[in-house]
């Protein structure tokens, strides 16, 4: 697609070109300075780099073409909206969580300033007319995971799935009823009935996307990971925004290259720095600040306990049920197992973190918490109690998307590094 094509396309979907140029200039500059500046990247990362740019160009064209042919699409947030069901009803889910700092002030038009940057970025893009997906959807579907989201959906009139806050049988039944209600919602939107055959197919497809993510991330367990934390984050960020089949092929090429790198003894890192688990809130596309701060300070991020990490790909939907009811229950169970901090209590999260520390040979945990995300911020204290018992040090970083505090972060990371076990170089 030529530059002219892209501008025409963006104009067609109602984007303010002048402001959009500013957004893209900001995002590109940061992308070059953080993700692209890392040394020794696998050549297969080229696809993911292009996909980053395509999310505001050719991907927009693909979705517009799909809609011109009569296809339906919905905007989604979070990882609770079951893609399998939407796809089985012929509805394309478009993830809308924002990760760029540039639009956050535009959110002031409707929201207070003291809310998390994820929400401010998402709606700042919408209000500044720089989100190319605003007009490319028939509805938006949110969930009740946190207070700011719940009230944002009310304000904007979104469809809402109720995510319970506890994990008893009664809560699971409520969630199953919400999943069934979501099926009716997408069926009504597209006029396509979800059949057992179609759902079986989409369960397998979405599981395949999770499986390739698992394989890419398994390489990070090795003593000398052939892929960096920054690149692994980019792969996860791209996962939901691009065509599933093309994304899976991109991952398969990357996996092949990572196998070759291992045979040739090629590590993504020049020095064997301490191995870090980053835990907490997601880092949507455009935000790689904490990963960059850590890896450019000599630490290696080898695992991500977040929704742009293992919280998305760890659990698969059971593929064994043959009937529609069984499949719906399997989908509900898989999504209900997500260990988001909105749950009380959330002991699965602690168990998952402790297991990850063991499997990935973690030296220290960094809590990466978006400002004003109270549940993850408070839950960090519960995680720390469990970490203290196994003598794993942790550092809590509460920050937004701006780079204003990067030097302060570096100073804190440097002190934290001194607490970590000495590493053989």
Q: Which residues bind ligand SF4 (CB under 6 A)?
A: 78-79, 116, 118-119, 145-146, 148-149, 281-282, 307, 311, 338, 340, 342, 370, 373
Q: Which is nearer to ligand SF4, 179 or 373 (CB)?
A: 373
> Beta strand pairing status for 159-161 and 139-143?
parallel
Query: CB neighbours of 237 closer than 8 A, spacing ≥ 6?
Result: 52, 99, 283, 284, 285, 308
Interatomic CA distance for residues 172 and 392, integer angstroms: 33
Count CB-CB contacts under 10 A for residue 32: 11
Q: Contact at 8 Å (CB) between 85 and 183?
A: yes
- Shortest distance, position 279 Cβ to ligand SF4, whole Å: 11
If you ran DSSP here, which 8-state letter would residue 106 be given? G
Considering beta carbons, is residue 45 or 146 the nearer one to ligand SF4?
Answer: 146
Burial class (CB within 10 angstroms; exposed 0-12, middle 13-18, buried 19+) of 325 = exposed
What is the rounded distance in angstroms from the CA atom of residue 102 to the CA atom of residue 401?
Answer: 9
Instruction: Please say which residue, 87 or 340, places its beta carbon nearer to ligand SF4.
Output: 340
By beta-carbon proximity to ligand SF4, the closer residue of 160 and 196 is 160
Q: Are 203 and 319 in contact (CB under 8 A)?
A: yes
CB of 237 to ligand SF4, least distance (A): 13
Which is nearer to ligand SF4, 145 or 190 (by Cβ)? 145
186 versus 369: smaller Cβ distance to ligand SF4: 369
Task: Give min distance, CB of 97 to ligand SF4, in A.
Answer: 7
What is the rounded CA–CA span in Å between residue 382 and residue 304?
18
Q: What number of helices (H) and strands (E) belong to the chain?
A: 17, 8
Rounded Cα distance, 229 and 217, in Å: 9
| CB neighbour class for 212 (10 Å; exposed up to 12, middle 13-18, buried from 19) | buried
Looking at beta carbons only, is 30 or 340 nearer to ligand SF4? Answer: 340
Least gap, CB of 301 to ligand SF4 (angstroms): 18
């Amino acid at each position: 697609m030529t530059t002219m094509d892209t501008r025409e396309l963006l104009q067609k979907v109602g984007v303010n070109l002048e402001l959009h140029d500013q957004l893209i200039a900001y995002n590109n500059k940061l992308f070059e300075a953080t993700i692209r500046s890392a040394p020794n990247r696998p050549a297969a990362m080229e696809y993911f780099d292009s996909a980053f740019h395509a999310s505001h160009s050719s991907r927009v064209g693909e979705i517009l073409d799909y809609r011109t042919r009569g296809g339906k699409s919905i905007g989604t947030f979070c990882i609770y909206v079951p893609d399998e069901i939407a796809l089985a009803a012929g509805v394309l889910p478009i993830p809308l969580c924002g990760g760029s700092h540039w639009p956050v002030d535009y959110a002031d038009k409707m929201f207070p300033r003291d809310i998390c940057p994820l929400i401010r970025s998402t709606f700042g893009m919408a209000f500044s007319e720089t989100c190319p997906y605003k007009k490319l959807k028939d509805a938006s579907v949110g969930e009740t995971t946190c207070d700011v989201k719940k009230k944002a959906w009310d304000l904007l009139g979104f469809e809402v799935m109720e995510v319970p806050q506890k994990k008893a049988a009664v809560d699971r039944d409520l969630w199953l009823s919400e999943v069934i209600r979501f099926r009716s919602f997408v069926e009504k939107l597209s006029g396509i009935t979800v059949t057992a055959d179609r759902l079986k197919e989409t369960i397998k497809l979405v599981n395949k996307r999770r499986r390739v993510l698992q394989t890419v991330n398994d390489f990070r367990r090795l003593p000398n990971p052939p892929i960096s934390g920054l690149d692994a984050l980019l792969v996860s960020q791209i996962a939901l925004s691009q065509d599933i089949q093309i994304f899976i092929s991109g991952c398969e090429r990357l996996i092949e290259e990572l196998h070759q790198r291992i045979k040739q003894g090629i590590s993504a890192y020049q020095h064997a720095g301490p191995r870090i688990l980053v835990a907490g809130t997601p880092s949507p596309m455009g935000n790689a600040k904490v990963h960059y701060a850590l890896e450019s300070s000599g630490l290696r991020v080898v695992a991500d306990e977040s929704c742009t990490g293992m919280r998305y790909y760890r659990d698969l939907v059971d593929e064994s049920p043959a009937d529609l009811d069984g499949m719906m229950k399997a989908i509900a169970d898989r999504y209900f197992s997500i260990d988001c901090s909105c749950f009380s209590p959330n002991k699965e999260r602690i168990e998952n973190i402790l297991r990850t520390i063991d499997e990935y040979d973690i030296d220290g945990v960094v809590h990466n918490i978006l400002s004003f995300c109270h549940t993850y911020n408070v839950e960090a204290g519960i995680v720390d109690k469990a970490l203290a018992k196994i003598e794993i040090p942790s550092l809590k970083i509460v920050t937004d998307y701006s780079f204003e505090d990067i030097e302060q972060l570096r100073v804190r990371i440097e002190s934290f590094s001194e607490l970590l076990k000495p590493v053989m170089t």
